[in-house]
Amino acid sequence: MKIPQRQSLLLQVVESLREALMNGVWEDFLPGERELSRRLHVSRPTVRGALDILSREKLISTKPGKNRKILQKRKSAIVRKQATVTLISTTPIYAMSSNRLFLFDELSRTLAENGIHLEVISNEAFGREHPGSSLRELEKKMDSSAYVLALSSRTTQEWFAEKGVPTLILGSAYPGIPIPTIERNYPALGRHAAGTLLGRGHRHLALVVPAQPLAGDLETEMAFRGEVERSGDPSRRCSIIRYADDPADLVSRWNQLPVDKGAVTAAFHLYPAAAVATLTHLLSRQIAVPGQVSMLCRDGNPLCQWLRPRLAHYSLPLGQFASRLSSLVLEMVKSGSLPMRKNTIMPEFDPAESLQQAPEA
């Protein structure tokens, strides 16, 4: 008897391309080998071998120096309705960070290549505890194949969970929300940040978090505090600075901390704007950074490179994150759901110039 063999990678690529051709994913020509290799996550020789097989099957034609021409199309592809993915954002496009713009641009491009339209709905109400009539207005026109939630509140996440529509949260889900997520590994970030500061001899740390934290902020805080408390060393302690969305409030809370014995010698901020406010405040009081207070920020921002000293931070591998986000959304559109799990990516640590050993007592 013949021993059954696993299907080769080449044949899997052939089947994937053949299915895309029959579904009318491309109009007249296939993308180039490099692009197909990137999208299928296989080498160019494997793609080239698969294209040779499709050429022998008379599905495509090959001419040197040109993209492969499609010879057979699915007749019904012309009349099918274009699928739509809706991105729900609390921030308008013009106010988004460069990182988010990159992610959404890559998502839009990948979806367009697969014949899917990306619609963006921006409304700050989706980040509030009480979204008001915004969710009711959204319900009137819910006809998308899938939804992506960015910076959403617990109420908004609960509402989408109750509707049961295919949804992916860009960021963390609040506890008990049964929706898959794609996010930075916030618990690992919190532990790494605390370990980095403690490892440099700092004993009194400040954790600077917004008064109305998002789900990822809560995960970061819990992990950071847990790492500080884990050793049981009473000399290690963590002061939490919860600030309103106002630099003056943050400065006021810094002024309430001890400045002599037991003073904070290192601070971990979640957001760059708060870190900038702290840095300028400390320098205005002639407190040296990092000589007297070391600083570390969870989220990266191009502004970090312009500060002096350059702010230590974590930067997201955007290409990897964008590729994973696009793959998950395509899977959600195709299958109508996603496995209930966290999809996490660990950012890269940049020590920059704002970290130093704890000053001697």
Average confidence score pLDDT of the chain: 87
Predicted TM-score (pTM) of the model is 0.67
Same domain, 290 and 223: yes
Give Cα separations from 18 to 11, 59, 333 (angstroms): 10, 8, 19
| CATH code of the domain containing 267 | 3.40.50.2300
CA 37 to chain centre: 24
Q: What is the pLDDT of residues 138-178, one digit of tens each?
A: 888 788 899 999 988 999 999 999 988 999 999 999 999 99
pLDDT number for residue 77: 41
Q: What is the pLDDT of residues 203-239, one digit of tens each?
A: 999 999 999 888 889 999 999 999 999 878 888 999 9
Among 76, 97, 129, where does a domain finish? 76
Note down the domain range covering 62. Answer: 9-76
| Residue 303 pLDDT exceeds 80 | no
Same domain, 180 and 202: no
In whole angstroms, give the CA distance from residue 110 to residue 32. Answer: 15
Q: Are 148 and 87 in contact (CB under 8 A)?
A: yes
Q: How many domains are there within the chain?
A: 3
Q: How many of the other CB atoms lie within 10 Å of CB of 265? A: 22
